[in-house]
């Protein structure tokens, strides 16, 4: 049985179809990265899974519970780490955790709080108000709050959005530990590096549905080949090179001030300029090719 099974899920907001026939299985014990540009439907999918949005069509099962009918049972078994910091900032670190331990019906609240404090490495700050914590500490606390009841499944909604690189790395370490313990994770993100580092499998979401899914290395092999050539030149020259490469059957994507010729190992002589920077193909190449959006 999969931890999450979605079939044909549709959710519209007025004329906008945020989720448009979504099929998604998340097997027990893996970390699945839901990768997609802003507006792809990732957050709506997360809200559907927590019962805060009701699907117009399709079937949803979480840990064997059918949503929305058994949403409460499903929520009792999963942890959610939201995109936005919604900690109670005037309240102590300890009380923030204790409240959620109670909401999740944890029997030994004290032990759960201690465990979460260890996880967030905040044992020595337990009596401090949240507003006195640094940004990184707050994010660690937010993660620990979602894990206070030791859930079997964790939903991470853009866990590091807007954070500086150091805090992001701290969070990745914590999420890595969670993975190592065998917790099932569904993580929405629009950061390629985050998906590459943490996800066992990546599902690329675009316009409300999954357009490709697999292990990062397999997706790269399937869609981008082995090598990518980045070419830097004036815009007119780039346009010429792009046209030549595309007419030779290669896929080209914009890469900031450059163009990236994907699968450049297959290019005939003369198509890729000699001064191009050759590098291994990445998930970013796949993401941009599939979604047409610039990666972050």
Cis peptide before 68 (omega within 30 of 0): yes
**What is the spatial distance between Cα 103 and Cα 79, in angstroms, rounded to a whole number?**
12
Smallest Cα–Cα separation from 279: which of 237, 222, 220, 239?
A: 220
Residue 17: partners with Cβ closer than 8 Å, 6 or more residues away: 10, 11, 207, 208
What x-and-dash track marks residues 216-255 binding another protein by CB under 8 A? Answer: ----------------------------------------
Kindly identify the residues of this chain, within the stretch 111-150, that bind another protein according to CB under 8 A: 115, 118-119, 121, 123, 129, 145, 150
Residue selected from 86, 165, 234, 256 as contacting another protein according to rule CB under 8 A: 86
State which residue, 65 or 213, has the beta carbon closest to another protein.
Answer: 65
State which residue, 5 or 194, has the beta carbon closest to another protein.
Answer: 5
Q: Closest approach of Cβ 276 to another protein, in Å?
A: 42
State which residue, 7 or 83, has the beta carbon closest to another protein.
Answer: 83
Q: Closest approach of Cβ 33 to another protein, in Å?
A: 20
Tell me which stretch binds another protein (CB under 8 A): 83-91, 158-166, 194-202, 207-215: 83-91
**What is the spatial distance between Cα 206 and Cα 201, in angstroms, rounded to a whole number?**
16
Q: Which residues bind another protein (CB under 8 A)?
A: 1-3, 11, 13, 28-29, 44, 47, 50-54, 63-65, 69-70, 72-73, 75-76, 80, 82, 84, 86, 88, 90-92, 95-96, 98-100, 102-105, 115, 118-119, 121, 123, 129, 145, 150, 152, 173-174, 177, 180-184
């Amino acid at each position: 049985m999969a931890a999450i099974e979605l079939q044909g899920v549709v959710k519209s907001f007025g004329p906008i179809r945020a989720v448009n026939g979504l099929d998604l299985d998340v097997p027990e014990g893996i970390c699945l990265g839901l990768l997609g540009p802003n507006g792809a439907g990732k957050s709506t999918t997360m809200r559907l899974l927590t019962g805060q949005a009701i699907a117009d069509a399709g079937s949803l099962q979480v840990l064997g519970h059918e949503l929305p009918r058994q949403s409460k049972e499903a929520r009792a078994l999963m942890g959610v780490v939201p995109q936005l910091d919604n900690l109670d900032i005037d309240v102590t670190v300890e009380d923030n955790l204790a409240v959620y331990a109670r909401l999740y019906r944890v029997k030994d609240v004290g032990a759960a709080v201690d465990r979460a404090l260890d996880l967030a490495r905040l044992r020595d700050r337990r009596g401090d108000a949240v507003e006195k914590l640094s940004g990184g500490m707050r994010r660690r606390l937010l993660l620990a709050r979602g894990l206070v009841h030791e859930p079997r499944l964790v939903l991470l909604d853009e866990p590091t959005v807007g954070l500086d690189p150091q805090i992001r790395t701290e969070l990745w370490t914590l999420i890595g530990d969670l993975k190592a313990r065998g917790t099932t994770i569904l993580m929405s993100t629009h950061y390629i590096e985050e998906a590459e580092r943490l996800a066992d499998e990546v599902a690329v979401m675009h316009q409300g549905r999954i357009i490709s899914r697999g292990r990062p290395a397999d997706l790269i092999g399937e869609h981008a080949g082995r090598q990518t050539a980045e070419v830097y030149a004036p815009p007119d020259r780039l346009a010429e090179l792009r046209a030549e490469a595309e007419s030779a059957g290669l896929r080209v994507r914009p890469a900031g001030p450059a163009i990236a010729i994907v699968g450049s190992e297959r290019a005939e002589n003369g198509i890729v300029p000699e001064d191009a920077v050759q590098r291994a193909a990445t998930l970013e190449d796949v993401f941009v090719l599939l979604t047409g959006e610039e990666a972050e």
